[in-house]
């Protein structure tokens, strides 16, 4: 039973592994730029989120969804960019709300927000980018 569930959700599991690695990179960038270099947290969150998505795109393209062709259609690239921009906007809104209104730290806010954007990203990317 468990094995059949794992096979059924194999892409989501792979997507989650790539997401976890991407999240580690994202959090390390926030720690570096916010905690040590003292940049504004909103700039840091935005920059870090966007910069991690280059790795995220290629790792998901090859590892998660098994797409090995060298060229990717313009529509898929534009769809990916649109999804990333949507997730970036969601990230900025949620991090601001969680930090400024709820009082969480930037790191805690960012981690909590990742839980939301990973689900949104998976379903949108599976449907529009890596299909």
pLDDT of the residue at 5: 61
Owner of token pair 């790795």: 55
Q: Let me know: does 41 contact 99? Beta carbons within 8 Å.
A: yes
pLDDT at 2 over 60: no
pLDDT of the residue at 37: 94
pLDDT of the residue at 91: 92
Q: What is the pLDDT confidence band of residue 28, given thresholds at 50, 70 and 90?
A: very high
pLDDT tens for residues 72-127? 678 878 888 899 899 999 999 999 999 999 999 999 999 999 888 888 887 888 78
Q: What is the mean pLDDT of residues 28-33?
A: 94
Distance between CA atoms of residues 23 and 75, nearest Å = 26
Domain spans of the chain, in order of start: 14-128
pLDDT at 55 over 60: yes
pLDDT of the residue at 108: 94
pLDDT at 34 over 90: yes
Distance between CA atoms of residues 13 and 8, nearest Å = 10
């Amino acid at each position: 039973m468990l094995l059949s569930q794992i096979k059924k959700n194999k892409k989501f599991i792979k997507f989650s592994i790539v997401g976890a690695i991407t999240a580690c990179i994202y959090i390390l960038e926030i720690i570096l730029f916010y905690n040590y270099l003292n940049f504004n947290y909103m700039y840091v969150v935005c920059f870090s989120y966007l910069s991690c998505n280059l790795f995220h795109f290629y790792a998901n393209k090859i590892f998660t969804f098994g797409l090995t062709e060298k060229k990717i259609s313009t529509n898929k690239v534009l769809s990916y960019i649109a999804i990333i921009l949507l997730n970036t906007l969601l990230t900025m809104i949620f991090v601001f709300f969680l930090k400024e209104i709820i009082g969480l730290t930037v790191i805690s806010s960012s981690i909590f927000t990742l839980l939301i954007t990973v689900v949104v990203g998976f379903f949108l990317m599976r449907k529009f980018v890596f299909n």
